[in-house]
Structure 1
Amino acid sequence: MSELDHLVRTRMLPGATGATLPDWVRRGLEAGFPGITIFPGPHLEDPGTVARLAASAREHRADALVSLDEEGGDVTRVEYAAGSSYPGNLALGVIDDPGLTRRVATAMARDLTGHGVNYNLAPSIDVNSDPGNPIIGVRSFGSTPELVATHGAAFIEAMQQAGVAVAAKHFPGHGDTNVDPHLSLPTVTCSAATLRARELAPFAAAVTAGAGSLMVAHAIYPALDPGTPATLSPAISRDLLRGELGFDGVVLSTAVAIEAGNGPERAVAAALATLAAGADLILLGPGVDEALYDLIHAAVVDAFERGELRVAELRQAADRVNGLARRFAPAPAGTPEPSAVGLEAARRAIRVHGDAVLSRPATVLEVRPEGNSIAGGAGWSLGDALAAHGLAGRVQQIDGPDATWERSDAPLVIAVRDAYRTPWAREWTIKTLAERPDAILVPVGMPDDAALTSGAYVCAFGAGRVNLRAVADLLADLPADLPADSPAGT
């Protein structure tokens, strides 16, 4: 194997999409791949999968970067089946206690290292400037740059001090989009002045905080580079991020992960353009198998041999990637110790209107629009949390506009996830609240507007398991300072 072959692999991060690593990924780790990314799917319903994949990767490269998206709240990989033990960013932003954000990030990092993970593709430090954004929502700390910058920096510093590299995302800001980039290419149309004042502030703070890497958004920013997605734009990755903001860490690109589903030619072209734009590390994504990777690898090697890409820059980028792996060398995996800070934070985030106490078992309706592409199928259920208190009578899942439910004189609790972005879920909830205005409404994602009104309203700011346990504790009228290890609600 030539030096060029090895260096090209150093800039590629292949995906793990099953319970075992494919043979080509195993061979690639020995030949230069710096690590793996664990993607969501049914394989993560077994809670031991992450640790096994991490251990498998390190059989072939001892300092492998084992990465995944562990944001807390709605987005979890290590607790994919049960739901997260930590609230997500929006809940932390609502509380607005940077010290608590640090404690949550530290505890999350300890959980990750216990599973063998040393590279977290988080936090999302996008300013949620468009409340209808289908992909950010509860993943953002909030809607103001100052709030997001403060909590983003606190999260980054604490997680990295605890031994886990971060990939703060999605540079230069993904909060003002109205489509999911995994489904269609978004365009951020705000002016350059607005973008700099609003979207860039958290990333400048992340650079100052020493973020080991930044993930670039696959979206178009006409004010910065008309017509070219940020992932493929030298003006954004080189001139703005490296030059203006002075970032010297690893630039991680998502272009190939997203374009792989559009055919091999698009994926190969995206890989070449991404490297030319200045990315150090390419997220290959679940759509890249051995055959497609071989095409990408051959095209990249050919581009360097023809002088279209510079070998000196290839070596510099490989040094940055290898430096990240050395800086966050994996600690021995072990059994993570339970932490009470997740439940403390979830309880502090809750906002209540009206009388929200159940005196007897309730009918629980869980209105379940399809989750966004990054959350995947991570589990959530308020019914399960209430059942632990003996307060769940009948639990029904509402998964479409024509869903029916069994009427009774029992108290009614409606848990709805992100109705703001799913018309049928919103209309169904409004209709049911008109029939039962005494219902307790529990938005388990983004809060909705006044159209969703009821006798009582409990906003959780996230659908993580710990968010819903906190709601259930409140509905059961348990003390707010109930110890985390209390039998009630476990």
Structure 2
Amino acid sequence: MVDDPGLRRLALRTLLAAFPGTTAPDWAGDLLADGLAGHTLFGGNITGPEQVAKLTGQLRSVRPDTLIAIDEEGGDVTRLGHRTGSPYPGNAALGAAGDPDLTRRVYAAIAADLAATGVNLNLAPTVDVNTESTNPVIGTRAFGAGPALVARHTAAAVRGLQSRGVAACAKHFPGHGATVKDSHLELPTVDASLDVLRTRDLPPFAAAVEAGVRAVMTAHIRVPSLTGTGPATFSRAALTGLLRDELGFQGAIITDALEMRGATAFASGIPQATVAGGIPLAAVAALSAGADLLCIGAAVDLPLVEAIAAEIALATTDGRLSVHRLEEAATRNAALAAWATPTTESAASSASHRPDLALGMSAARRGMTVEGVVGRLRDPLVMRLVAGWSIAAGKVPWGLGPHLATAEEIEVVADETSAPELAAHAGERPIVLVGRRIHNSPAARKLIEDLATTRPVGVVEMGWPSSWRPAAAEAFIVTHGASLASGRAAAEALNLTTHETQPTKP
């Protein structure tokens, strides 16, 4: 252990911590006073906009240039709307709408919501090219499966966010779209050549850099041709060689959460990894590779932050990390914070600000496709097919339920029920089945196909779409995401909504 207050303070300037609860504990503020770069807010920190504004004001009263970060992507990943769903559709719907100016306006609205609550760093947009249809962690978080389309919408999203003074962070470099594993749970491998990366995965990051993005987030993925045996987060070739030198990015490089298994599983294999699954060692490895701002994750307490800072300080004395590299990272983070420090006017706007629900609904409608006809689906039984959830999104409500005027909605586990049972419950009613990635479940596909032989059936797909269509279905709706706005748009298309024209305010 190195007892050097100056090194400790320098190390803290590279860390994004977090804390439990809707008010900040004393230690969270004390760390800010000692130099901590900032905190990330998660769903458990949030009950509503006014509460968030009060919380960020509490943090910023300690130090005005505090970075307060959040994952507010719209669509399936929302923190401000984690109790209801996002009032804005996500990237897949915006990509399907095909209008970069609409993307810019939606992201400007998200930024306005964040600025009104005092958040100044959005860990968005996701700019991965979702070339793997079974990708378990990206999917509808991506604008699409083509690099040119994703690049266009990436630039628009970055400009929209930053037009309201909220720093954007393009993620997950060098591209998480071709993975079949979730880096929250393990270290995925993308077996692609550098030429493939340059043509398939990197164009959106180049577009983000060209648009002036203030931050880029690393991916805990292994690309053997680039990163060798470890993740990109720990790869100097990826962060310094490719992102800095080749793409010319000069802003802050932020790590994905170091608590994720994609990082700690590798770091834990390093000798003497003993604290918190290797997070302190992961922090040193990421800084050494060229990262500037280390996102620790959600499960953070004071002893963990101190252990990380102590390991970073120690690394500057034993040859693993130079003081110059640490100072460089701290300087970049300070520049990011200076750019994103809220003005007095923006801080005062929280009481009167409201999300742009009309814009969100317009975007959701434009990002939705309706095949077939809905005329025979009046007064249906709505069945929401139980689907898994990703750690990135959390357990955010989804489906048509909040928008139904009179229709009954039930929850169904596809492989625990049968078509005759459900048909008996429906009686003479038509059936609408709502799910996410329905095509991935043989039981769900069979259930829908069997029901469609007995009565009018409609399907609402709210996940990453596929070419599968049940032959006898009356209508097939693809929302390209499961946001509150997309659920409302689907219910409208089926004539199932209340008379309100906008979704319930989150």
Q: TM-score, normalised by structure 1?
A: 0.92
Identical-residue share of aligned pairs (%): 39
Deviation (angstroms), 1:448: 2.9
110-119 or 308-317: bigger deviation: 308-317
Query: Residues 208 and 487 of structure 1: is their aligned pair in 2 closer, same or farther, counting only changes over 3 Å?
Result: closer
1:222 aligns with 2:224: yes
Deviations 1:260-303 (A, max 9, x none): 69762511221111111111000011233222222211111111
Cα distance change on mapping 1:313 and 1:489 into 2, 3 Å = closer
Cα distance between partner residues in 1 of 2:504 and 2:298: 37
The within-5 A match list for 1:290-329 is: 290-329=302-341
- Runs (4+) of structure 1 moved beyond 4 Å? 45-49, 259-263, 487-490
The secondary structure found in structure 2 opposite 1:305 is coil
* Partner in structure 1 of residue 175 of structure 2: 173
1:158-185 alpha-carbon deviations (Å, 9 max, x no partner): 2101111011100000000001100111
Q: 1:287-329 CA distances to partner (integer Å, 9 max, x unpaired)?
A: 3322222221111111113343221222221111111111011
1:5-45 deviations in whole A, cap 9, x for unaligned? 2111010000234222233222111111121101234x545
Say if 2:10 and 2:327, in contact at 8 Å, map to a contact too: yes
Q: Distance in 2 between matches of 1:344 and 1:188?
A: 36
Name the CA distance, whole Å, in 2 between partners of 1:420 and 1:54.
42
1:349-371, CA deviations, whole angstroms, 9 ceiling, x for partnerless residues? 11111112466422111112121
Bigger CA drift: 256-265 or 354-363? 256-265
Return the offset for 1:399.
4.2
Q: Which moved more, 1:166-175 or 1:467-476?
A: 467-476
2:353, 2:109 → 1: CA distance?
9
Matches within 5 A, 1:21-36: 21-36=24-39
Tell me which amino acid in the other structure corresponds to 1:92. Answer: L
SS in 1 for 2:75: coil
Mapped to 2, the partners of 1:477 and 1:271 lie a distance apart of 51
Residue 257 in 1 paired to residue 259 in 2? Answer: yes
Letter in 1 for 2:143: F
Cross-structure match for 1:381: 399
Whichever residue aligns with residue 164 of structure 2, its letter is A
Residue identity opposite 2:410 in structure 1? Q
**Cα pair 2:383 2:409 within 8 Å, conserved:** yes
Corresponding residue of 2:249? 247
Structure 1 SS opposite 2:254: strand
Aligned mate of 1:434, from 450, 461, 472? 450
Aligned to 1:194: 196
Is residue 414–residue 443 contact of structure 2 (8 Å, CA) maintained in 1?
no
Cα deviation, residue 379, structure 1: 1.4
Tell me if the contact between 1:67 and 1:119 (Cα under 8 Å) persists in the aligned partners. yes
Unaligned 5+ runs, structure 1: none
Q: Is the 8 A contact 1:117 1:164 kept in 2?
A: yes
Which secondary structure state, in structure 2, belongs to the residue aligned with residue 131 of structure 1?
Answer: coil
Q: Alpha carbons of 1:154 and 1:349: their partners in 2 closer, same or farther (altered >3 Å)?
A: same
Match of 2:271 in 1: none
Q: Distance in 1 between matches of 2:130 and 2:310?
A: 40
Amino acid at match of 2:31: G
The amino acid across from 1:20 in the alignment is T
In 2, Cα distance between equivalents of 1:48 and 1:371: 28
Unaligned 5+ runs, structure 2: 269-274
Q: Is the 8 Å Cα contact of residues 13 and 33 (structure 1) preserved in structure 2?
A: yes
Task: For 1:306 and 1:253, locate their aligned partners in 2 and report how far apart those are by CA, in whole Å.
Answer: 23
2:118 aligned with 1:116: yes
- Equivalent position amino acid for 1:461 in 2: H
Picking from 460, 465, 483, the partner of 1:464 is 483
2:66 aligned with 1:51:
no
Counterpart of 1:409 (choices 428, 432, 440) is 428
Give the Cα separation in 2 of the matches to 1:134 and 1:206. 24
Q: CA deviation at 1:53?
A: 2.8
Letter in 1 for 2:492: D
Number of corresponding residues: 477
Evaluate the alpha carbon distance shift between residue 158 and residue 466 of structure 1 in structure 2; reply closer, same or farther with a 3 A threshold. Answer: same
Give the Å deviation of 1:71: 0.7
Task: Pick closer, same or farther for the CA change 1:268–1:486 going to 2, 3 Å.
Answer: closer
Is 1:336 matched with 2:353? Answer: yes
What amino acid sits opposite 1:23 in the alignment? D
Q: Quickly say closer, same or farther: Cα 1:408–1:108, change in 2 above 3 A.
A: same
Is 1:476 paired with 2:488? no
**Which residue does the alignment assign to 1:73?**
75
3-state secondary structure, aligned to 1:298: helix
- After superposition, the Cα gap between the structure-2 partners of 1:376 and 1:265, relative to the gap in structure 1 and judged at 3 Å, is closer
State how far apart, in whole Å, the 2-side matches of 1:356 and 1:341 are: 25
Q: State the 1:103 CA deviation.
A: 0.9
Shift of 1:452: 4.0
Q: Compute the RMSD of aligned alpha carbons.
A: 2.2
